[in-house]
């Protein structure tokens, strides 16, 4: 029996048994497993090795998909945190722009007062 490596991500590397060409269940047909002549379902199979190998492949695939789903969920949560932080920073920038305008207005008033004091009161 040879082995196939499912490489979805480096953290998901698994050794998976692959059926030989002369065995009953090829990997590409594992989703539609053939059954013995005259049997009505997989429960009547005599070759439990094929069933066990297919179950191992299914378990490996489910594990890989589950791991991907967990990573995707973590990435979604991380993206939401970044979006929240961006919104907060945008609000801070808007508040600072308002404060800057107010300070410019007050600075202009002070410059006018200094100019008035220097030209009118203290000639």
Per-residue pLDDT tens digits for 32-50:
444 444 444 555 455 888 8
Cβ partners under 8 Å of residue 15, min gap 6 = 3, 4, 5
Spell out the domain ranges in the chain.
2-86
Whether this model's pTM surpasses 0.75 = no
- pLDDT-based confidence at residue 122 (cuts at 50, 70, 90): confident
What is the pLDDT at residue 33? 46
Q: Which position has the token pair 């890989």?
A: 64
């Amino acid at each position: 029996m040879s082995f196939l490596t499912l490489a979805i991500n480096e953290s998901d590397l698994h050794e998976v048994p692959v059926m030989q060409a002369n065995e009953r269940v090829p990997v590409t047909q594992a989703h539609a497993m053939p059954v013995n002549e005259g049997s009505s379902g997989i429960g009547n199979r005599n070759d439990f090795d094929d069933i066990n190998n297919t179950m191992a492949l299914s378990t490996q695939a489910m594990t890989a998909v589950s791991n991907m789903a967990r990573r995707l969920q973590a990435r979604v949560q991380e993206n939401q945190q970044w979006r929240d932080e961006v919104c907060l920073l945008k609000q801070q920038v808007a508040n600072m722009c308002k404060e800057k305008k107010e300070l410019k207005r007050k600075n202009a008033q002070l410059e006018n007062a200094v100019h008035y004091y220097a030209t009118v009161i203290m000639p």
